[in-house]
Every structure is written in C-alpha cells, then in structure tokens.
Amino acid sequence: MRGSFIVRAFSMIAVPTALLAGSQVITYPAPPEAKTSTDFTVTVNGQPLVVYKDVRYYFVNFSMAGTVTMNVRWTLGFNSAVVRPLSHGITPVVTNKSATFTFTGPRNISLESNDDEGRAYGDGEWPDVVPALLIFANPLEVNVPSPTDPAVQYYGPGYHEIGTYALTAAKKTVYLAGGAYLHGRFHVRGVNDALIFGRGILNSWDPNAGGPNQEEAAIFTQNCSGLRVQGITVTHNGTWAWTTVFRGASQVVFDNYHVVSWIMWNDDGIQPRADHSVFNRCFSAVADDDYSMTGGNHQTYLNCVGRAGASRTFQVWYPATFGVYKGCEVIGPATRHEWAAILFEGGDQDQNFLFEDLNVEVSNKWLEAHGPNHYFKDINVLKSTCYAHNPDASNLVFENLRVGGKLVLSTSDMPWLGGQATCKATDPTTPAVRIYSPTRYDSCDVVTGPSFTLRFTVSNWNMTPGGKGFRWFVNGKDMGLRHTADPIDITDLPIGPNAVVIKLVDEAGQYIRFMDAIVVTVAGQNVGAQRGGLQSLSQHTPAVAADPMDLFAIDGRRIAARKCGLAPLGRDRTGVYLIRQSDNTGGRARRIVAR
C-alpha cells in the first residue's frame, strides 16, 4: 500500500544498460486522411510519434519493450503534470513547459495537466473537459501474418475505406498493421472463433448516421462465439451508438483493446452482452459509460482502465450475475464525474459480483449498488469526500475498503454504505484462488506456445471429492469440475489471445464469486490457417526470442523476458540467465513472457 491507492508492480529491478541494449521502440506512420493534431509534440526514446485526436482526447500508439523515456510538449504548456493511473508510480518532470517521464514495459496510461481547473476546455454541453494525452504503449507483436495469406484480411499501413466489413467463415481473421487507419466498421454475425488484431486504428465516424443504431458500432457482434480481439484502437464513433456492441455473443476475449470516443452522448466504450467472456488490459475513454455490462453472466474484467466522461466506468444495467472485476482503475476526468464509478441498474437481478483490487482516483460517488450478494475487496478510493449510495442492496461485504486513506471498519464510519453492509479489515479466512504460472508481470504480455502447464493455489477452500471444488474455463468453454489444486496441462490453444479462468464452487456446485484468470497470447506461424477454438496446433512453431539476451530462467524454467525489467543474477549451465523474483510486488499479479 502506498498513499491511498494500490500500487501496481510492473517490474522489479532495472536491467543493466548492457542488457537493455536490445530495448525496442516501434513507431507507426499515419496517412493524410487520419485525424491528427499538432497540439502535442511527443517523442519516445527520441523518436517522434503521431498524435491522433478524437474531438476531446488525444492519443499516441506505438509498440515497445524495455525502458523508454517520453517527452511531451503541449501548445498550452505544462505547469505541472500527472500520469494516471497513479498506481503506476510514474512522476513526470516538467521543464520549460514540457513533461518528461520514464517507464519500463508496455502499458496504457494518461498524461494530464495537473492544474486541471484552469486548463479545461469544451463547449456548452461539456464546459469542463480536461485535456488528456492517452498513451498506448503496446507490447511487441508476436503473430504478424503474411500480407499474402489468403485466409487473412490484411490491412497494411495507409488509409482503408472499408464500409461495413462482414467477417465470413472463409475469412475470419483480420489484421490491422501498425500505421493502418481504417474508416468503417466490422460485423461479426454467426461466425465463430474470429480473430481481429494488430496495432492499427479503426475510425467509425459516420456523419450521415441517424438516430440510435447499434449496428453502426465500430465492432458489432451477433449470434457468435469465440471472438478474440487484441491490440487495436477504435476511435471517433459518432453514430449515437455504443462503440463496441455484443448481441447474442459468448466466450469473447478482448485483450489490450483501446476505445477513444467523445463525440456525443451515449457513445459507450464496451457494451457486452456476452456470457463467459474476458476483457483484459482494455482502456476506454468515452463520453458516456466505459464498460457497460448489458446482460450476460460470468464476465471477467482484468486490469482494465476507464476514463468515463460524465457517466459510469463500470455499469451493470441489465440482469446479470457473477461479474468479476480485478485490478481495474477509475482515472477521470477529475472535474466532471457526476454519476457513480460503479453502478448497478438491474435491481435485484444483479447478483453475486466481485470487485477486487480496484483504485478509484477521481470520482465523486464511487458506488451505487442494487441487488444482493456483492463483495468488494481491497478497494482504494482516493478522495475522502467520495461516497456511495446503496438504497436497496443487501448482503454487501467490504473487505479492506479505504476511503481517503482511512480503513473503513464499520458502517457507522461511513453510513452511506447502507444498512445491510458488513465492513472488515483484510480477512485471512476469505476463500481465494491465485494463478502463479505462467508467471505474470503487468509490464509484458504472457506469451506461450499452444501448450503449457497452469499452476495455481487455492486457499481457505477445503476441496474434497463430491464437495467443494472449482470449475475451469478456456476461452469461456467449461473444462469441468476439479477437487484438487494439482497443476493443469493446457494444450492446443489457438494462436492469439486466450483466457483461462478458475472459479470456486461449493458443495452444491454453485459458484461463490471468488476466482482468478489469466490471458495468454499464443505465438505461432500461419495465423490465417488457424481454424476454430481448441484444436491441434502441432503444425505451428512457437515464436523464439529475438536474441540470446532475451532468454532467462526462473526456478529452472526457460522464459523469454523481453526486457521486462528483470535483473540477471548470472547464467546457468545452459547459458540461460537466472532471475530472482522479488516478493515486493504490492500484491499485484505480475506478467512476463513465458516459454
């Protein structure tokens, strides 16, 4: 714990300069048709970046590994600056009105002027919008397909007018290269196991759009399962429609997906109605709700960041059950956030939600809960004046809730929590499951071959045959009930992002909320030849580290660290570097590239 928020541990000890010699930055060009801006001038490791603008937000997009230094000059000039989420511990240095800061490992962050009150801009409807430069520092790509692969719809650098592009069973892999700027939208109807990925940008603005029409969203899905989206940025949605819409979808995995859209009221960021789906490392900055769970059960949000305009960051507004939010951040904007950061609107039909390891930096009201059986664990609300309103919720549990740095141990301390709430300090008897291998560091992707061994711990949950246990899922597919925490061999995963989820169940086989999850990226060749969900990938060769300096071992296990800030202790007999893992990780899941 540092200050009043959970500190995210992204790296341990800085790698010596010699080891970082292979640190990489990959920048991307922009075609003339792209909506760019000169309000900010940005460099990363001395290389200039294209600055894109979406009416009220600016953003940059690049890929990297290792440690980078960014310099940002703003035409209005910085007097002071802040990088959010604050939990990343990045402190900009302001010199001559420009901000400079350094960080290790990929991440999604926001650079803002720290004297917001006098620097806001906007119009009559949004008079106090605070400018922000959103920074999407992506991991290096591992699955770049061939432009000539007949099974891949490949969009290379440049401008592409795609209209409404409907994925088909014959061509259900779409790749947006860095520097690709698309205008249009993707429809995924009745096509299972589709993959949309890359580092490109999708602009879905339609000046001729009429009233609300969900099919004009940037990504619209209907009656499909197994969709996976990774690494792209969606911007400039202007159709009075939600930006990313799911209807009749299931088993969806979104990883490192960015939404930047503040054109009009109601352009929600991610609006899923998709059972057994996982959203990992997503970033949403929109005018309305960031993550709006409009029905669907067993959705999981990991390490997601929201910068909602005047509405909610995490909203549940249709009947839904067993939603889990872990390691997420509510970051702004500071001068306008009138509604609750977390809002349940489905009444008594919203049940059994878990919010764990959550930082709320700026909201005025952090929670409005309805329905029974919600658990809030390790919640840090930065502002002491931030409150909650839970008029008809029941059986709410707050474990290790801090508001303005104060540990809340009783509803009498915070009467606004509601009459049917229980407050307590960290409880060592709370059931828990924790995945620890593949080892995780938030600064890098977890990259594996199609097969690996999942290792985890289960505590305070006495598992016996026929009694308590857990169910595990791969990309939303139920893989069965288990009653032992023995390692699980997972095989034949498809190329690209894959989600593995473990959920505890009681003696009656009912879920009890507590769970853990991991999203891994399977590296391979012949991406377009990939077909379907769980299947044999013996024809694919896992990617190999770019040079021997990338190879490490932890506890005898070979991994590729991709310069994640790991300090070598020496070499083992095979010439592979040895790494000591630090225990000082702030309690956060960590991420490295595993082999």
Confidence of residue 292 (pLDDT cuts 50, 70, 90): confident
pLDDT higher than 70, residue 125? no
Check residue 574 and give its pLDDT: 31
| Region of residue 21 (left: phi > 0; alpha: psi -120 to 50; beta: else) | alpha
* pLDDT tens-digit map of 351-404: 888 999 999 887 777 888 887 888 999 999 988 877 787 767 788 899 999 999
Check residue 564 and give its pLDDT: 37
Confidence of residue 161 (pLDDT cuts 50, 70, 90): very high
Check residue 264 and give its pLDDT: 59
Instruction: Please give the span between the terminal C-alpha atoms of the chain, in angstroms, as a whole number.
Output: 32
Mean pLDDT for the stretch of residues 189-213: 84
DSSP 129: B
User: Strands, DSSP E only, in 232-369?
Assistant: 233-235, 244-250, 253-255, 258-261, 270-271, 274-275, 278-280, 283-286, 291-294, 300-302, 305-306, 314-318, 324-326, 329-330, 342-344, 354-360, 365-368
| Sequence-separated (6 or more) residues with CB below 8 Å from residue 148 | none
| Nearest residue to 88 (alpha-carbon basis) of 591, 595, 593, 586 | 586
Mean pLDDT for the stretch of residues 251-269: 80
* pLDDT tens-digit map of 304-350: 998 866 667 787 777 778 888 899 998 875 445 557 788 777 666 67
DSSP conformation letters of 339-364: S-SEEE-SGGG-B--EEEEEEE-S-S
Check residue 592 and give its pLDDT: 29
Mean pLDDT for the stretch of residues 464-475: 95
Check residue 348 and give its pLDDT: 66
| Nearest residue to 444 (alpha-carbon basis) of 8, 1, 11, 83 | 11
Question: How would you class 134 by CB atoms within 10 Å of its CB: exposed for 0-12, middle for 13-18, buried for 19 or more?
Answer: buried
The rounded distance, in Å, linking the Cα atoms of 527 and 150 is 11
Check residue 583 and give its pLDDT: 31
Judging by DSSP bridges, how do beta strands 392-403 and 324-326 pair with one another?
Answer: unpaired
* pLDDT tens-digit map of 297-309: 888 889 999 886 6
Mean pLDDT for the stretch of residues 138-147: 93
Average pLDDT, the chain: 78
Cis bond upstream, residue 150 (ω within 30): no
The rounded distance, in Å, linking the Cα atoms of 47 and 43 is 5
The rounded distance, in Å, linking the Cα atoms of 92 and 102 is 8
Give the pair of three-digit tokens for residue 68: 């980078």
| Nearest residue to 294 (alpha-carbon basis) of 315, 313, 268 | 315
Confidence of residue 567 (pLDDT cuts 50, 70, 90): very low
Largest CA distance in the chain: 68
Contact between 346 and 369 (Cβ < 8 Å): no
Give the up-direction half-sphere exposure of residue 221: CA atoms within 13 A in the CB hemisphere: 29
Check residue 113 and give its pLDDT: 87
Contact between 561 and 579 (Cβ < 8 Å): yes
**How is the chain split among helix, strand and coil, in percent rounded to 5?**
5, 45, 50
| Burial track 500-533 (b if 16+ CB lie within 10 A, e otherwise) | bbbbbbeeeeebbbbbbbbbbbbbbbbbbbbeeb
* pLDDT tens-digit map of 429-449: 999 999 988 865 444 568 888
Give the pair of three-digit tokens for residue 98: 């420009």
pLDDT higher than 50, residue 2? no
The rounded distance, in Å, linking the Cα atoms of 322 and 512 is 8
* pLDDT tens-digit map of 72-111: 999 989 989 999 999 999 999 999 989 999 999 999 999 9
* pTM of the model as a whole: 0.84
| Nearest residue to 262 (alpha-carbon basis) of 283, 284, 279 | 284
195 or 113, which is more confident?
195
Check residue 88 and give its pLDDT: 92
The rounded distance, in Å, linking the Cα atoms of 107 and 60 is 12
Contact between 476 and 225 (Cβ < 8 Å): yes
Identify the residue whose tokens are 């109605």.
273
559 or 258, which is more confident?
258
